[in-house]
Amino acid sequence: MHWADVAANALSHKGAKHIVSTGITPSGEFHIGHLREILTGDMIARAARNAGLDVEFVFIVDTADPLRKVYDFLGPEYEQFVGHQLGSIPGPDKDGNPDWTRFENEGWTYGDHFLKPFLQALEQIGVRPRIIDNLESYQNGRFDALSKTACDKREDIREAIERISGRELAEDWFPWSPLDSKGSLDGVTVTGYEYPLVHWKDSHGIEGSSNLTKGEGKLPWRIDWPAKWGWIGVTCEPFGKDHGAAGGSYATGREIVQILGHEPPHPLTYEWISLKGQGAMSSSAGNTIGPIEALELVPPEILRLLVAKSKPNKAIEFDTGMSLVNLADEYERLAARDFSTELADEELSRRQRVQIEDAAGAMRMAVVQEGETAEATAVTFRHLALLAQTKSTDSGVWDSLRKAGAIAEPTQALIDRLDRMRSWIASKHFPLEMKISVLEAPHAQALAALDEDEQRVLEALASKLAICTWDAEHIGAAIPQTAKDLDCSPKSGYRAAYAALMGKERGPRLAPILAEMDQGTICALLNDCVKSLQQS
């Protein structure tokens, strides 16, 4: 069973109606790692729907969280906002300074700045959660009743946190963080409580009162989370391994939510996605790949497959080079399989059966449109990468594929894919390994590997290509024909050509590549190769 189905199965034992929740703090650029949170939730919800449950998927944006520090991508002016809530301060402009104009005219906040592009990416990926803005929820009184309970039962909560996390809370700890006289959550001391007011004294020596029902402050994280479960009615939530560890916020949350009078949701801990060779992604370290950026390179179903194919407790190493090519090709292979026929085979061992079921499950989760069956495009990414590099126009690519009998007419999916392929090739992410390059000077080692026949073929090829009509068709015919004229196998023609032009034993189809290049240059290179062979 696919991991999402396992989770859905667990939910089905607890009831028929469910709310699967996810949440992210919009403190910086969203990246692929955040996508795992959202996609994990989306896939559980999808699996639960498949299992006939009534399920809603929500995404809580933690706009009530404070700005922790002036990140590297922010200008020094943000110093004044440290401790202020992300949903109440202006977003950065392109220089990293507060964009007051948009803030005052459109109410464009720091949270919006990072959230909106992410939501656009989610749309493309086929994820459409109900968005809950946490700061608004506080201001609209959603947390009112639960905040009151938390303040009333603060000793029970304190005991739970101290026991489970093993840390000691300060004497003046209080389960409500009031906003101070300047709107910051930092450095405020609670001096008293009479519902709905929490009295405080701030770091400037000013005293005041915070109204719980109006969101003039927030619950600290370890209480904020279970309180959300409570008022939203969350029954299932995936979260990163940081929250999942013993003594972590899920462990305290599951007890606190009961103190608040609700049941804890079904948990699912997932591992991080790291960027190959660079450790965990972190916005401030700048080693991130955003979902938008990734979507310029590959279609959304491939990003979905990345998350769908790995069990949540497996760390994922991501990179935009060869791993992405392999992932994309894997998608194609999976799309081409007929799982129901495979499963009909009664000879299958239990193990083989599980493997096929998991692959089928992963594909159900990977397709963008729920319920659709993935369609193989009949062209692997490798092949498309090749065509995109050798054909300067799209119609050239389609002609080649038609001639090969791979397609009749390009589908929208394929057109779309070629677009992304072209931007991938143009980007810094495209792997060198996939790049087609013709040598500029003879490659002695590769030439030395040729046997006598192949060397003769190379010589003949040099003169033959010099008089060849310079188009793909004629070049393509000339290579094997030259070999045959000398009573050698067509293979020796290719071997000779690859050794001379690319310094390798094999490679991509030569003819279309050569046709795009200058005949004189190619022939000069071939002649140089012949000369270097004669000298040795």
Partner RNA sequence: GGGCCUGUAGCUCAGUCAGGUAGAGCGUCGGACUUUUAAUCCGAUGGUCGCGGGUUCGAACCCCGUCAGGCCCGCCA
Residues of this chain, 300-329, that bind RNA according to CB under 7 A? 310-311, 313-317, 326
Which of 206, 245, 441, 448 binds RNA (CB under 7 A)? It is 245
| Cβ proximity to RNA, 106 vs 242, nearer residue | 242
Q: Are 274 and 240 in contact (CB under 8 A)?
A: no
Which of 167, 408, 409, 445 binds RNA (CB under 7 A)? It is 167
Element (H, E) at 267: strand 266-270
Residue 258 neighbours by CB distance under 10 Å = 15
Q: Does 368 bind RNA (CB under 7 A)?
A: no
Overall residue count recorded for the chain in this entry: 536
Point out which span in 51-59, 116-124, 242-250, 456-464 binds RNA (CB under 7 A).
Answer: 242-250
Size of site (CB under 7 A) for RNA:
82
Element (H, E) at 218: strand 217-218
| Cβ proximity to RNA, 68 vs 531, nearer residue | 68
Please report, as a single letter, which amino acid is at residue 317: E
Nearest to 65 by CA among 28, 100, 103, 26: 26
Q: Does 330 bind RNA (CB under 7 A)?
A: yes
For the CB of residue 49, give the shortest distance to RNA in the complex, in Å: 22
Please report, as a single letter, which amino acid is at residue 131: I
Q: Does 508 bind RNA (CB under 7 A)?
A: yes
Q: Does 9 bind RNA (CB under 7 A)?
A: no
For the CB of residue 403, give the shortest distance to RNA in the complex, in Å: 7
| Cβ proximity to RNA, 213 vs 465, nearer residue | 465
| Cβ proximity to RNA, 213 vs 430, nearer residue | 430
User: What is the strand order of the sheet 236-240 is part of?
Assistant: 130-133, 54-61, 17-24, 236-240, 266-270
Which of 293, 342, 358, 528 binds RNA (CB under 7 A)? It is 358
| Cβ proximity to RNA, 202 vs 330, nearer residue | 330
CB under 8 Å to 330, separation ≥6 — which residues?
Answer: 305, 309
Q: Are 373 and 367 in contact (CB under 8 A)?
A: yes
As a whole number of angstroms, the distance between CA 58 and CA 358 comes to 26
As a whole number of angstroms, the distance between CA 213 and CA 468 comes to 84
As a whole number of angstroms, the distance between CA 177 and CA 165 comes to 20
Q: Which two tokens stand for residue 460?
A: 């003949």
For the CB of residue 135, give the shortest distance to RNA in the complex, in Å: 15
Q: Which two tokens stand for residue 185?
A: 């959550």
Q: Are 361 and 5 in contact (CB under 8 A)?
A: yes
Q: Does 27 bind RNA (CB under 7 A)?
A: yes
Q: Does 37 bind RNA (CB under 7 A)?
A: yes
As a whole number of angstroms, the distance between CA 527 and CA 35 comes to 53
| Cβ proximity to RNA, 233 vs 490, nearer residue | 490
| Contact mark string toward RNA, 334..353, x via CB under 7 A | ---------------x-xx-
Burial 57-91 (b: 16+ CB within 10 A, else e): bbbbbbbbbbbeebeeebeeebeebbbbbbbbbbb
Whether the ω angle into residue 196 lies within 30 degrees of 0, i.e. cis, is: yes
| Cβ proximity to RNA, 83 vs 299, nearer residue | 83
Q: If DSSP codes are grouped into helix, strand and coil, which group holds residue 316?
A: strand
Q: Does 405 bind RNA (CB under 7 A)?
A: yes
| Contact mark string toward RNA, 473..492, x via CB under 7 A | ---xx-xxx-------xxx-
| Interacting residues with RNA between 182 and 221 (CB under 7 A) | 221
Q: Which two tokens stand for residue 274?
A: 């790291």
| Cβ proximity to RNA, 127 vs 213, nearer residue | 127
Which of 34, 201, 228, 420 binds RNA (CB under 7 A)? It is 34
Point out which span in 42-50, 90-98, 204-212, 494-502 binds RNA (CB under 7 A).
Answer: 494-502
| Interacting residues with RNA between 262 and 281 (CB under 7 A) | 269-274, 279-281
Q: Does 299 bind RNA (CB under 7 A)?
A: no
Point out which span in 149-157, 198-206, 378-386, 391-399 binds RNA (CB under 7 A).
Answer: 378-386
For the CB of residue 55, give the shortest distance to RNA in the complex, in Å: 20
| Interacting residues with RNA between 65 and 94 (CB under 7 A) | 68
CB under 8 Å to 310, separation ≥6 — which residues?
Answer: 316
For the CB of residue 238, give the shortest distance to RNA in the complex, in Å: 8
| Interacting residues with RNA between 170 and 189 (CB under 7 A) | none
Q: Does 17 bind RNA (CB under 7 A)?
A: no
Q: Does 282 bind RNA (CB under 7 A)?
A: yes
Q: What angle do CA 519, 523, 529 make, to 5 degrees?
A: 155
Q: Does 62 bind RNA (CB under 7 A)?
A: yes
As a whole number of angstroms, the distance between CA 360 and CA 431 comes to 29
Point out which span in 85-93, 171-179, 379-387, 418-426 binds RNA (CB under 7 A).
Answer: 379-387
Q: Are 420 and 297 in contact (CB under 8 A)?
A: yes
| Cβ proximity to RNA, 106 vs 399, nearer residue | 399
Which of 131, 206, 285, 404 binds RNA (CB under 7 A)? It is 404
| Cβ proximity to RNA, 7 vs 530, nearer residue | 7
Q: Does 131 bind RNA (CB under 7 A)?
A: no
Phi-psi region of 181 (alpha: psi -120 to 50; beta: other; left: phi over 0): alpha
